[in-house]
Amino acid sequence: MNVTLVQGDITEQEVDAVVNAANSSLMGGGGVDGAIHRRGGPEILAECRRLRASHYGKGLPTGQAVATTAGRLPARWVIHTVGPVYSRSEDRSESLASCYRESLRVADTLKARSVALPAISTGIYGWPMDDAARIALEAVRQAGTAVEDVRFVLFDAAAYAVFEARLPG
């Protein structure tokens, strides 16, 4: 498995699957979620609604992942995962690691070879970037996936630098 870093917009990535930092409602939101639905078009939300009705009446639980079409995005699939909200008083890092593991497990079921991942939970959900990068890189390294190209897409130069400092080699 090849882990690479890119600074940019996850919606522009030409990969088999892009991972969405969704919220549990699967009905869209801000940040990565907003960008994916805006650019991918209404087909993604339509499939999210069907998933809510068929499988996730109470919403997608934190740490789990589920795939939909990618609509008009260059990717074939969007894998939606729900990161934990950062907490100072409770250690939720296992749940954040689970987002990465589950996203790659779903990617394997789709036979995706290349996957773009955002820095889950580091936006609206408030996770400090350095700690999130440590958890993300470790979770991906330990995932045991057939995905060959794992690409972290960091939105700004600061986030890119934090991930780069933690990437071995």
Task: For residues 60 and 24, give the distance between their C-alpha atoms in angstroms, rounded to a whole number.
Answer: 5
What's the chain's length in residues?
Answer: 169
Between the CA of residue 31 and those of 115, 117, 139, what are the distances in Å? 19, 13, 22
Instruction: Extract the tokens encoding 55.
Output: 């499988």
Q: Provide the H-helix boundaries in 86-156.
A: 93-109, 129-141
Least Å from the CB of residue 132 to ligand ADP: 8
- Please say if 33 is a catalytic residue: yes
Q: Counting contacts by CB under 6 A, is residue 95 touching ligand ADP? A: no
Q: Does 145 bind ligand ADP (CB under 6 A)?
A: no
Single out the catalytic residue among 9, 33, 130, 156: 33
- Min dist CB 128 to ligand ADP, Å, is 11
For the bound state, the minimum distance from the C-beta of residue 107 to ligand ADP, rounded and expressed in Å, comes to: 17
One-letter identity of residue 147: V
63 counts as binding ligand ADP under rule CB under 6 A: no
In the complex, the residues that contact ligand ADP under the rule CB under 6 A are 9-11, 21, 30-33, 35, 83, 118-125, 153, 155, 159
